[in-house]
Amino acid sequence: MTTLYIIGNGFDLYHGLHTNYSDFHDFLSCHGEEDLIDSMERYWGHYDVLHGEHTLWSDLESALGEYNVKDIMDDMFEGHTLDIDHISSSIGEVDAEVTENFVPLRERLNEQFSSWVRSMDFSRISRKSLYGFDPSGLFLVFNYTDTLEKVYGVSSSQVLHIHGDAGNLADELIVGHDKLYKEVPQEDDFYDRTEYQHQIASVINGLYKDTAKIISRHHEFFSQLSSIDTVVVYGHSIADVDLPYFQEIKKNIQPNATWHISYHGDSLPDVNKRVSNLGVSNVTYFNM
């Protein structure tokens, strides 16, 4: 195999699947998870006034990396003042904010995200004409869906679902950010905030996408790329959170490899900037 295909979410959108993060928001809303939506918007990302939406529902993974532990703790402690006559009750209220409201968020998000991805309907999806497509190539898939296998008949032996395969119920679907939190001392009042900080950090870092660890786990895949002289990217914006994978690919393929990268709408300037930062020069672009 001399051609590597990299598949991003734009590939599924191009085929009519409802895989925008805004669709995830709608899925949560339809399944009575308004409290999860509210909690996520409370602690991660921000409301984008220009586009009239919360950043979670335009770029979930980047938004998960927008957090401030001090603000999270201050929010949890707000309104909880020490009642000298009921100390245990005062501490219990703060404990509940952390252990009952915040700590479960990671597990709830992962569960609902997996349910959403695995609910995708392929019944109306059909093949499309794809730029430079060869089903005998090698495929690195950032999506969780098995569109390639179901729609194009690509053998699973040619495909690596780098963040998990929704078609395999045993697979963990990895979604997360790239901003690992390193704990710093917090100011204490009556409450010892150290343990609360540990619990909050555990949730935040539990949503950290450890790209180095994932690359190491799939070392065999990346080490077989030495013969690749052509890379075709379908529907991936080369966002910062996934940049380490592209750097690993560039390191392992032929140094003079040709890259063919898709863009959509007016995204070409942003894609071109990211490609330049990657240090790839032998590039052609195509609209998708």
Entry field: residues in the chain: 288
Of the pLDDT bands very low, low, confident and very high (cuts 50, 70, 90), residue 71 is confident
Task: Give the CA angle between residues 41, 110, 183 to the nearest 5°.
Answer: 65
What are the backbone angles phi and psi of residue 230, rounded to the nearest 5°? -140, 130
47-61, 94-108, 111-125: which range is least confident on average?
A: 94-108
Q: What is the pLDDT of residue 116?
A: 97
pLDDT tier at 77 (50, 70, 90 boundaries)? confident
Give Rg (Cα) of the chain.
Answer: 22
CA distances from 77 to 84, 87, 92, 95, 133 (A): 16, 15, 12, 10, 55
Query: Other C-beta atoms within 10 Å of 246: how many?
Result: 23
Distances (CA, A) of 53 to 13, 31, 45, 47: 20, 20, 11, 6
Flag whether pLDDT at 215 surpasses 90. Answer: yes
Q: Which of 124, 126, 144 is nearest to 24 (CA)?
A: 144
User: What mean pLDDT is predicted for residues 195-213?
Assistant: 92
Helices (H), ranges, 15-161:
21-30, 34-43, 60-64, 69-77, 87-96, 105-117, 147-152
SS3 208: strand
pLDDT in tens, 234-258: 999 998 889 999 999 999 999 999 9
Please tell me whether residue 157 adopts helix, strand or coil conformation: helix
Inform me whether the pLDDT recorded for 19 exceeds 60.
yes
CA distance 17 to 147: 9
pLDDT band at 67 (very low <50, low <70, confident <90, very high): very high
pLDDT score recorded for residue 85: 57
Q: What is the mean pLDDT of residues 16-44?
A: 96
The pLDDT of residue 190 is above 60? no
Higher per-residue pLDDT: 143 or 69: 143
Q: Does residue 229 register a pLDDT over 90? A: yes
pTM exceeding the 0.85 threshold for the entire prediction: yes
For 117-163, how does the pLDDT look when each residue is reduced to its tens digit (9 = 90+)? 999 999 889 999 999 999 999 999 999 999 999 999 999 999 999 99
Computed over every residue of the chain, the mean pLDDT equals 90
Please name which of 227, 214, 231 lies closest in space to residue 160, comparing C-alpha atoms: 214
Does the pLDDT of residue 192 top 90, yes or no? no
Residue 72: pLDDT band by 50, 70, 90 thresholds? confident
